[in-house]
């Protein structure tokens, strides 16, 4: 079954967003964090004279790759296998989880240390492992916080962005049994370090996501800031990597483009502190059993829609989340998916064939800040509109909206009808008008007047004024 985390159980965006808007602490945390990252990004992007060319290059490489995806995936499989890796193909979330569980059992491992992987959140791997009696340990600091707090990620790059350090202290105090912890960042980091170090040294299976799967070398590339990922991919003897099929890039050399745009867009750094690249197995050094699971889970279906397939160009930098004024208000949970913000609003519905996420394509004012920030130039507003069109064409739009749009189209069909509609609206507004302002309008306009004032429609339209002026012989 194609599944994106628990998105199928999520409430519609406007409902979840309203709940988030009521949480003042969450909104302060999200606003603060996104402002900090945006500021840092602006500095390191601003210093690049060739930023626009880099974006163009990244876009061109991704478009080419997505077009010849089958070719590059097979090339990756061939080169990874030649280097001693084992490549597995998973059609959906359940198959991917089953493959990982089978590898763990065959290797006789019961615990694994994980480095941040959105894709395993997508497949719900941790729940599947636990159901099979296996124990996953998240080691990325933010993912550790999420796991210990039994929370959900709210951001693609900074999953615990919705929490502040006091909230994190409380999670650590409970889960690590350390009542003496304060909320000093150094102390919290030291506590996490101590907690994780024991796992790094003991647990003998590692699990990672991938930023890039490189076809011409068969390598996997993971970038991170903490070094915990480096531990996960070098210390254990068994290493499993789960990769969405769209993460493949043709050449090792293409990293020169992506490593420049990714770090600057994601964390506002010139380069990621840790860039780990490995190719199959090196005898006597590092993991001696290297597995790569290539996941489809709806991606090849996205490929089939030419108008929106550039969604698959995404490198998960989250620059669009940080730039998005809607995300800044609600945080990530409102999107009901591990993929939140503008990219989540176009990716989740497509992966799920719109089934459980009809409200997401409307979770945007189409302001264009996401497109402006995207380092691979995905035209997110255009794709949002395209997905809205798909819903309308499939008869999935609400009846009230369809009726309103039909009425508006009829009014706009001719000058005479528009003039009549203007007159009718002026008459119809009287029950709602007081002192030149309208209030308590009927649905759907009540959604406007509940929050904002609305001036009454003026007594003379521009076209009426113009006609009067013409009759009088001009100005």
Partner 1 sequence: MLISLFITCYKDTLFPDTGKAVVRVLERLGHRVEFRSAQTCCGQMHYNTGYTADARALMEKFVRDFDGAETICAPSASCVAMIRDHYPKMAAASGDAGLHRRVDELVPRVFEFTELLVDKLGVTDVGASFPHAVTLHTSCHSIRSLQLGDRPARLLRAVRGLELRELADADQCCGFGGTFAVKNADVSAAMGADKARRVVETGAAVCAAADNSCLLQIGGTLTQRGEPVRCLHVAEILAAGDGR
Residues that bind partner 1 (CB under 8 A): 13-14, 17-18, 21, 325-326, 329-330, 361-369, 371-372, 385, 387-393, 397, 401, 405-406, 408-409, 411-415, 418, 422, 425, 437, 444-445, 447-448, 450-455, 457-458, 460-463, 465-467, 475
Looking at the Cβ atoms of 71 and 465, the one nearer to partner 1 is: 465
Looking at the Cβ atoms of 120 and 350, the one nearer to partner 1 is: 350
Q: How far is the CB of 388 from partner 1 (least distance, A)?
A: 3
CA 351 to chain centre: 12
- DSSP state for residue 280 in the 8-state scheme: S
12 burial type by CB count under 10 A (0-12 exposed, 13-18 middle, 19+ buried): middle
Looking at the Cβ atoms of 228 and 350, the one nearer to partner 1 is: 350
**Which residues have a Cβ under 8 Å from the Cβ of 253 and sit 6 or more positions away?**
none
The answer to whether 226 touches 140, Cβ cutoff 8 Å, is: yes
Looking at the Cβ atoms of 133 and 444, the one nearer to partner 1 is: 444
Q: How far is the CB of 184 from partner 1 (least distance, A)?
A: 31
109 closest CA partner among 42, 23, 202 = 202
Looking at the Cβ atoms of 71 and 412, the one nearer to partner 1 is: 412
Q: How far is the CB of 421 from partner 1 (least distance, A)?
A: 8
State the Rg of the chain over Cα.
Answer: 26
Looking at the Cβ atoms of 81 and 422, the one nearer to partner 1 is: 422
Q: What's the CA gap between 293 and 245, in Å, rounded?
A: 9
Looking at the Cβ atoms of 353 and 414, the one nearer to partner 1 is: 414
Q: How far is the CB of 155 from partner 1 (least distance, A)?
A: 17
HEC readout, 44-61: HHHCCCCHHHHHHHHHHH
**Which residues have a Cβ under 8 Å from the Cβ of 291 and sit 6 or more positions away?**
85, 86, 87, 88, 103, 238, 239, 240, 241
Q: How far is the CB of 389 from partner 1 (least distance, A)?
A: 4
181 burial type by CB count under 10 A (0-12 exposed, 13-18 middle, 19+ buried): middle
* Alpha-carbon distances of 309 from 92, 246, 378, 413, rounded to whole Å: 19, 11, 10, 34
**Which residues have a Cβ under 8 Å from the Cβ of 463 and sit 6 or more positions away?**
415, 418, 419, 422
Strand runs (DSSP E) across 218-264, as ranges? Answer: 219-224, 238-244, 248-249
Looking at the Cβ atoms of 108 and 436, the one nearer to partner 1 is: 436
Q: How far is the CB of 369 from partner 1 (least distance, A)?
A: 7
Q: How far is the CB of 162 from partner 1 (least distance, A)?
A: 16
Ramachandran sector of residue 446 (left: φ over 0; alpha: ψ -120 to 50; beta: rest) = alpha
Q: How far is the CB of 405 from partner 1 (least distance, A)?
A: 5
Looking at the Cβ atoms of 244 and 336, the one nearer to partner 1 is: 336
Q: How far is the CB of 446 from partner 1 (least distance, A)?
A: 9
Looking at the Cβ atoms of 352 and 359, the one nearer to partner 1 is: 359
Torsion angle, alpha carbons of 361, 366, 383, 13, to 10: -10
The answer to whether 2 touches 348, Cβ cutoff 8 Å, is: no
286 closest CA partner among 222, 246, 239 = 239
- DSSP state for residue 297 in the 8-state scheme: T
Q: Is 347 in a helix, a strand, or coil?
A: helix
Q: Which long-range contacts (CB under 8 A, 24 or more apart) does 181-185 make?
A: none
Q: How far is the CB of 469 from partner 1 (least distance, A)?
A: 8
Q: How far is the CB of 26 from partner 1 (least distance, A)?
A: 12
Looking at the Cβ atoms of 204 and 464, the one nearer to partner 1 is: 464
């Amino acid at each position: 079954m194609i599944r994106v985390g628990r998105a199928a159980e999520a409430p519609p965006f406007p409902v979840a967003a309203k709940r988030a808007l009521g949480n003042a602490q969450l909104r302060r945390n999200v606003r603060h964090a996104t402002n900090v990252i945006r500021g840092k990004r602006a500095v390191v992007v601003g210093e690049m004279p060739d930023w626009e060319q880099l974006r163009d290059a990244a876009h061109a490489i991704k478009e080419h790759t997505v077009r010849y995806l089958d070719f590059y995936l097979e090339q990756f499989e061939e080169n990874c296998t030649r280097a001693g890796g084992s490549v597995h193909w998973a059609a959906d979330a359940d198959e991917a989880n089953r493959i990982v569980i089978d590898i763990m059992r065959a290797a006789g491992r019961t615990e694994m240390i994980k480095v941040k992987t959105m894709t395993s959140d997508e497949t719900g791997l941790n729940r599947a492992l636990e159901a099979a009696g296996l124990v996953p340990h998240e080691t990325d600091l933010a993912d550790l916080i999420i796991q210990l707090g039994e929370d959900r990620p709210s951001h693609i790059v900074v999953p615990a962005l919705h929490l502040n350090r006091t909230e994190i202290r409380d999670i650590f105090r409970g889960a690590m049994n350390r009542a003496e912890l304060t909320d000093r960042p150094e102390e919290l980091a030291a506590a996490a370090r101590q907690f994780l170090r024991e796992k790094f040294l003991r647990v003998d299976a590692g699990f990672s996501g991938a930023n890039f799967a490189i076809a011409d070398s068969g390598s996997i590339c993971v970038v991170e800031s903490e070094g915990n990922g480096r531990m996960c991919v070098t210390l254990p003897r068994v290493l499993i990597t789960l990769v969405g099929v769209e993460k493949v890039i043709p050449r090792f050399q293409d990293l020169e483009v992506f490593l420049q745009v990714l770090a600057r867009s994601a964390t506002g750094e010139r380069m990621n502190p840790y860039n780990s690249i490995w190719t199959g197995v090196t005898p006597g050094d590092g993991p001696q059993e290297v597995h790569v699971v290539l996941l489809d889970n709806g991606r090849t279906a996205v490929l089939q829609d030419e108008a929106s397939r550039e969604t698959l160009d995404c490198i998960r930098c989250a620059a669009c989340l940080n730039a998005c004024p809607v995300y800044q208000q609600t945080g990530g949970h409102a999107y009901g998916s591990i993929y939140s913000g503008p990219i989540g609003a176009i990716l989740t519905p497509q992966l799920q064939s719109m089934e459980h996420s009809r409200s997401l394509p409307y979770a945007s004012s189409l302001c264009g800040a996401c497109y402006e920030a995207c380092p691979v130039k995905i035209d997110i507003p255009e794709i949002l509109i395209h997905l809205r069109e798909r819903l309308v064409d499939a008869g999935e739009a609400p009846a009230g909206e369809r009726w309103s749009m039909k009425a508006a189209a009829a009014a706009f069909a001719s000058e005479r009808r528009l003039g009549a509609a203007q007159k009718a609206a002026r008459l119809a507004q009287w029950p709602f008008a007081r002192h030149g302002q309208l209030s308590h309008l009927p649905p759907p306009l009540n959604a406007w007047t509940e929050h904002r004032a609305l001036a009454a429609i003026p007594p003379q339209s521009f076209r009426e004024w113009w006609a009067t002026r013409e009759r009088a012989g001009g100005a």
